[in-house]
Amino acid sequence: MIELNNEKLHVEFSETGAQLIRLQDQKNGRDYLWSGDPTYWRFSAPILFPIVGRLKNDQYEHQGQTYTMHQHGFARESEFKVVEKNRTQIIFELTSAMHQFDNYPFEFILRVTYQLKADELTISYQITNPGEDELFFSIGAHPAFNVSLDENRELDHVRLSVTPQRIYDQVKLIGPYSDIQHPQKLDLTQPLELKREMFDNDALILDLQGQAIELTLNSQDNHGVKVFLDDAPYVGVWAPYPKKAPFVCIEPWWGIADQINASGRLNEKAAINQLASHASQQMQYRITPF
């Protein structure tokens, strides 16, 4: 077990997927993160890389060759190594040199940093291109937060609040694929009381258009989490349906599922990130439980 501690929080990790697996209040022992019980969902907070969501027909094309890759990519199943650790910070690393990724013909270095400061956990992703060719990638987070349910195991009185309060563009989903050209509207001028049936077509996806936001997930016992995003272009909110699982995910994404009319060419993929030779890019988000 790998752990970090300070006076406020206790957190634990798995080297498989560099996954956060526990987020616990030091004083009252409350666990804010889903346990990964496979009855409902076998993950707690997987990292989505090098794609977010699903590719059309689970395939993409690059330089005339076709590759198969399944939903959310391979990082969540890969073994990372710890390259640095102290009491309140840990850095995991996954590189193209560590594994044979036959379905991803790019050189890359992915570093995942977790840092505790008071009652806040900062999660940072740094992607470096050590190769000579341009690197194409997406990355995202998928943390699942415990919520208390009513006697029918429904999400009644679980509320989502977003700051700034306004009407947001919501990405339309057609099956597992996205339609970013025809957004729907989601009124978040007031807290949204979540209902299970909201997720009958998968996640609610907000197009943030580069705006920094704060999302608050507040359960009926008045405990929850705040998730702060500075530069994520999208955020997904998801709970299993029709399973009555006791968690809700808040998912910062730097990428999105293929559009229904995707060409299949990776360099034309919606919201794909492009990284020049020997360049780096960093993304982060923050979690504060209450």
**Token pair 């020997």 is at which residue?**
278
Rounded to the nearest 5 degrees, what angle is found at the Cα of 15, between the Cα atoms of 286 and 89?
40
- How many domains does the chain contain in total? 1
CB distance 132 to 239 below 8 Å: no
Contacts of 247 (CB under 8 A, 6+ apart): 34, 40, 41, 144, 145, 146, 147, 239
Query: Exposed, middle or buried: residue 61 (CB in 10 Å: 0-12, 13-18, 19+)?
Result: middle
Residues of the chain above pLDDT 70, percent: 100
CA distance 54 to 42: 18
Q: How many CA atoms lie within 13 A of 281 on its CB side?
A: 17
The domain that contains 241 carries what CATH number? Answer: 2.70.98.10
Residues of the chain above pLDDT 90, percent: 96
Q: Please give the distance of CA 191 from its chain centroid, rounded to a whole number.
A: 22
Q: Convert the pLDDT of each residue in 60-111 to its tens digit.
A: 999 999 999 999 999 999 999 999 999 999 999 999 999 989 999 999 999 9
Q: State both tokens at 139.
A: 């990355």
Q: Convert the pLDDT of each residue in 238-288 to its tens digit.
A: 999 999 999 999 999 999 999 999 999 999 999 999 999 999 999 999 999
State the pLDDT at residue 156: 85
Range of the domain at 69: 2-289
State the pLDDT at residue 160: 98
Calculate mean pLDDT across residues 110-130. 98
Extract long-range pairs of 275-278: CB within 8 Å, 24+ residues apart. 275/127, 275/128, 275/129, 275/134, 275/135, 275/136, 275/137, 276/129, 276/134, 276/135, 277/129, 277/131, 277/132, 277/133, 277/134, 278/128, 278/129, 278/130
State yes or no: pLDDT of 210 exceeds 90.
no
